[in-house]
Amino acid sequence: MYFAIFVGGDPGLISGVTIGGDAWAFEIKNSTVSGAVYCQASSNNNKACDTSRPDPAEQAFPISDGNIEEWKATAEAGGVYTGNLSYNSDANVSLGPKKIVGNLTVGGGVTLTVTGTLWVTGNISLQGGGKIKLGLNYGGSSGVIVTDGRVDAGGGGLFDGSGISGSYILVVTTSTCPVGSCSNKPAVKVSGGAGAVILNAQSGTIEVEGGGQAKQLTAEKIEMSGGATIHYESGISDMSFSSQPSGSWVMTTWDEI
């Protein structure tokens, strides 16, 4: 599918990418675009600027603070675990809804099945063939993991939905990284895979590199390199989210007012 990138604040720039559709920004350079090139300034592209469109209008972020607080409350209602949780040996474990006051690490071929909304106050690390997936109780709905820390997915680590078409994991971080005490690390880093995941870092930076893949990205800043792929699917705009396990509410659309 074609997809849209909305950029607000500073003048928008698309640079050094191959786009299988239209490109639209204030400046486009060093890029190959199969469709139309809408811009006001350009250099080293395969096509000249079509200046008929002004800069795209700034768009509101899709998830509000209220959405995040509601997801956190749903997770906390399922109980609180204090301390770091680490799954690093071959096993299948289930978790949720749950608040984790600490870090969550999944690796070593472990499959962590999410059975309800998770809130992690620390960092999430998915490495070494680890997998975080939704339980079958979600059906065709999508689920949510909220973290106040960083997300690092690589080394064959995968996020996945329930296995039913249209089911995804939405991973939301409130991190402002690399701003702050982050050792210049991004809020979200994806490399070498990721799976059926929607990544949201509205206050921070998402880096996708080295064959990393995702279904959708939202961030203050997005950096892509080394074969990174974002594959937007038609069903994403009509996703339904379920809190599970009760499924007492379903959010089919959202808007920030």
pLDDT in tens, 120-158: 999 999 988 899 999 999 998 889 999 999 999 887 788
Question: Cα–Cα distance between 217 and 179 in angstroms, integer?
Answer: 19
- Shared domain check, 85 and 55: no
- Indicate whether 253 belongs to any domain: no
- Shared domain check, 192 and 94: yes
Buried b (16+ CB within 10 A) or exposed e, 173-185: bbbbbbeeebeeb
Q: What is the predicted pLDDT for the residue at 76? A: 96
Percent of the chain with pLDDT over 90: 51
- Shared domain check, 180 and 113: yes
10 Å CB burial of residue 109 (0-12, 13-18, 19+) is middle
pLDDT digits over 15-65, tens only?
Answer: 888 888 999 989 999 999 999 999 999 999 999 999 999 876 777 888 889
Question: Cα–Cα distance between 177 and 219 in angstroms, integer?
Answer: 11
Q: What is the predicted pLDDT for the residue at 154? A: 83
pLDDT digits over 153-184, tens only?
Answer: 887 788 999 989 888 899 999 999 999 889 99
Higher pLDDT, 190 or 2: 190
What are the CA-CA distances from residue 197 to residues 68, 166, 168, 188, 240 (Å)? 17, 11, 6, 12, 14
Q: In which region does residue 139 sit, left (phi positive, over 0), alpha (psi from -120 to 50) or beta (all else)?
A: left
- Shared domain check, 200 and 99: yes
Q: Taking the model in full, what pTM does it have?
A: 0.78
- Shared domain check, 83 and 46: no
Average pLDDT (102-109) is 94
- Indicate whether 44 belongs to any domain: yes
- Shared domain check, 209 and 136: yes
Quote the distance between the C-alpha of residue 242 and its chain's center.
17
- Shared domain check, 133 and 65: yes
- Indicate whether 257 belongs to any domain: no
Give me the number of domains the chain comprises.
Answer: 2
Higher pLDDT, 212 or 171: 171
Q: What is the predicted pLDDT for the residue at 239? A: 53
Confidence tier at 225 by pLDDT (50, 70, 90): confident
- Shared domain check, 101 and 88: yes
Position 28: which residue type?
A: I
Question: Cα–Cα distance between 95 and 102 in angstroms, integer?
Answer: 15
- Indicate whether 1 belongs to any domain: yes
Confidence tier at 4 by pLDDT (50, 70, 90): low
Q: What is the CA radius of gyration of the chain?
A: 19
pLDDT averaged over every residue in the chain:
85
- Indicate whether 11 belongs to any domain: yes
Average pLDDT (71-89) is 95
Q: What is the predicted pLDDT for the residue at 247? A: 39
Dihedral angle at the C-alpha atoms of 23, 27, 28, 34, nearest 10 degrees?
A: 20
Asked whether the predicted pLDDT for residue 84 surpasses 60, the reply is yes
- Shared domain check, 69 and 25: no
- Shared domain check, 55 and 77: no
Q: What is the predicted pLDDT for the residue at 250? A: 47
- Give the domain range for residue 238: 61-247
- Shared domain check, 81 and 48: no
Confidence tier at 85 by pLDDT (50, 70, 90): very high
Q: What is the predicted pLDDT for the residue at 236? A: 58
Asked whether the predicted pLDDT for residue 243 surpasses 80, the reply is no
- Shared domain check, 70 and 127: yes
**In which element (H, E) is residue 111 found?**
strand 111-114
Question: Cα–Cα distance between 22 and 45 in angstroms, integer?
Answer: 13
Confidence tier at 212 by pLDDT (50, 70, 90): confident
